[in-house]
A = this chain, B = another copy of it.
Amino acid sequence: MAIHPQTLGVSIDDASSAPAYQQIATQLRKEIERGGRAPGERLPAIRTLAVALGLHRDTVAVAYESLAEAGWVEARVGAGTFVRSTLASRTEASGRSRRASSGPGGSVSASEPESGSQPAAEREIGLALAPQVERLMTLENTRPRYATREDVVALHRLVPDPRFYPIDEFRECMDAALREEGPELFSYAAPEGDPELRRAMAERFRLFGIRHAPEEHVLCHGASQGISLALRLFTQPGDQVAVEVPTYANVLSALAGLGLTAAPVAMDRQGPDPDALDRLLAKPEVKAFYTIPSFHNPLGTTAPLERREQVLEIAQRHGVPIIEDGFEMDLRFRGPEVPPLAALDDTGIVVLLFSFSKSLFPGVRVGSLSARGRALEGLVTLKLATDLSDSLPLQAGLARFVESGAYDRHLARIRKVLRSRHRALDDALESSMPEGTVWTRPEGGYQRWVELPGEIDSHDLLPEAARAGVLYSPGTLFMPDARPSSAMRLTVSGADEDEIRRGVAALGEVIGVGGGARTAAGRRGGVHL
């Protein structure tokens, strides 16, 4: 499994005066010219080549981009980078790209287009996309694509188990809302969303010590839109945003899409390192700090009260806003509640994100942003300018669902499932993982972090694990600089107790057999967290 740069057809001459990216581009171009890489052939994945050559993946990405600009290759969403058919047919090639073979089989991407019979754009013009969109597409291309075998144990997925969706109860609530509130729900809503749901949420939030009024909660289209809005509230392209290492993978996409850069803050089991955070927030180019204090994603850890107070004090002292992601706030299954930063803050510096996607189901697409003062006003204005408002029928149905007590009943059930599945995962890890493996023990949420012993890059084990019938998220996905990681994120959302035991047993075998030998070439740095 060790990657030999030679087999990838590229090598770096350290003695050469040409920059590495140019060396890569030149070698690939020559190979394409002499027919050594056929039209339609896929280039090595950026990440693979970077690891093989001991380079940062940006270096390889720049090489590929320069080849693409010159018309030699083209990137395809969810598929990779491919050799173009001929230079002469440049405009045509990009027009046909979506109908071409999507490369090596066995993996699919959610965003991969169906093959269709659409007529070609006859003489396609190569449009210039925004640079941040190009970067985003490059980033998305590096994301692993997972096999879709039915019998694979999905320990990688952070999607609540559809077996527990309270569809019928929810449908009744929505139906009642539509019947009773009628046409009004089908007009434009205020950008802040359904007042009834905001009232219900304000009341529930008091359980966490959050005293925001109903009008200080702005509903949005899932926490994912909330992240985009909160980032746009405080930043403009070129700015930096402090994020934890590791952090939620999609926040890295959101940063790329907005032309922002991640400023990394080291984590320990208690949360972000206070000294590192203090140094970082002192920099004027750092405009906000994105943090997940409870049931961290991917770590699964929860910051204790003392660390929260430290973090808050630092941000307040520097006047840097905190974007607190409470996406699993409602999913504590053991231990006492720790107040969110938004409950501890009395200065209005915290914007709190909440979501029903993990505690209920994602399809309702309802999240919220809680804020005060100018930040609140800015969010409302931004939401209005972004998409006017969300859909009231779902929000009004959800309001009834929460008010009827159905949501709390559902939570009680889900927490029990979580407790039992995490116990199964603990037992399975204990009995199946090699000596030296360590993992976190969450008090809530679906995910936890498992660190393998030695110099393994968990990303390299993924194809073999998939063949063995188990999927996980490699640690590198959660690294702002995409560095290799010996860790992986496991979740209990998509697998029951039996499946967990089966999946972890398979994982243990894959690691036990080949783990020691799988030291990736070009590794910089060791094991993180």
Query: Which of B184, B234, B365, B373 is close to A121, meaning CB atoms less than 8 Å apart?
Result: B373
Query: Which of B186, B233, B361, B381 is close to A140, meaning CB atoms less than 8 Å apart?
Result: B381
A306 within 8 A of B: no
> What residues of chain B lie closer than 8 Å to A22, measured between beta carbons?
none
How many copies of this chain does one complex carry?
A: 2
A250 within 8 A of B: yes
Contact B316 A125 (CB under 8 A): yes
Contact A374 B228 (CB under 8 A): no
A262 within 8 A of B: no
A490 within 8 A of B: no
Q: How far does the Cβ of A290 sit from chain B's closest Cβ, in whole Å?
A: 15
Alpha-carbon distance between A235 and B125 when the two chains are bound, in angstroms: 17
> What residues of chain B lie closer than 8 Å to A373, measured between beta carbons?
94-95, 97-98, 121, 124, 127
Query: Which of B132, B253, B394 is close to A236, meaning CB atoms less than 8 Å apart?
Result: B132
Contact A129 B378 (CB under 8 A): yes
Contact A222 B387 (CB under 8 A): yes
From A91, which residue of chain B is reached at the shortest CB distance?
B347
Interface segment, one of A107-115, A294-302, A520-528 = A107-115
Contact B111 A190 (CB under 8 A): yes
A122 within 8 A of B: yes
Size category, A interface? 35 or more
Q: How far does the Cβ of A396 sit from chain B's closest Cβ, in whole Å?
A: 10
Contact B137 A377 (CB under 8 A): yes
> What residues of chain B lie closer than 8 Å to A187, measured between beta carbons?
159, 162, 361-363
Alpha-carbon distance between A140 and B385 when the two chains are bound, in angstroms: 9
> What residues of chain B lie closer than 8 Å to A215, measured between beta carbons?
98, 113-114, 116, 118
> What residues of chain B lie closer than 8 Å to A386, measured between beta carbons?
224-225, 228, 254, 257
A126 within 8 A of B: yes
Q: How far does the Cβ of A275 sit from chain B's closest Cβ, in whole Å?
A: 22
Q: How far does the Cβ of A90 sit from chain B's closest Cβ, in whole Å?
A: 12
Alpha-carbon distance between A119 and B212 when the two chains are bound, in angstroms: 7
Contact B234 A237 (CB under 8 A): no
Interface segment, one of A25-33, A51-59, A175-183, A408-416 = A175-183
**Given known contacts A162-B187, A216-B118, A111 and B384 CB-to-CB distance under 8 angstroms:** yes
> What residues of chain B lie closer than 8 Å to A123, measured between beta carbons?
346-347
Contact A162 B136 (CB under 8 A): no
Q: How far does the Cβ of A339 sit from chain B's closest Cβ, in whole Å?
A: 15
From A288, which residue of chain B is reached at the shortest CB distance?
B127
Q: How far does the Cβ of A224 sit from chain B's closest Cβ, in whole Å?
A: 5
A171 within 8 A of B: yes
Contact A116 B213 (CB under 8 A): yes
From A170, which residue of chain B is reached at the shortest CB distance?
B186
Contact B388 A250 (CB under 8 A): yes
> What residues of chain B lie closer than 8 Å to A124, measured between beta carbons?
347-348, 372-373
Enumerate 8 A-B pairs (CB-CB under 8 Å) in ascending A order: A111-B191, A118-B215, A122-B347, A127-B319, A129-B233, A183-B361, A188-B357, A363-B393
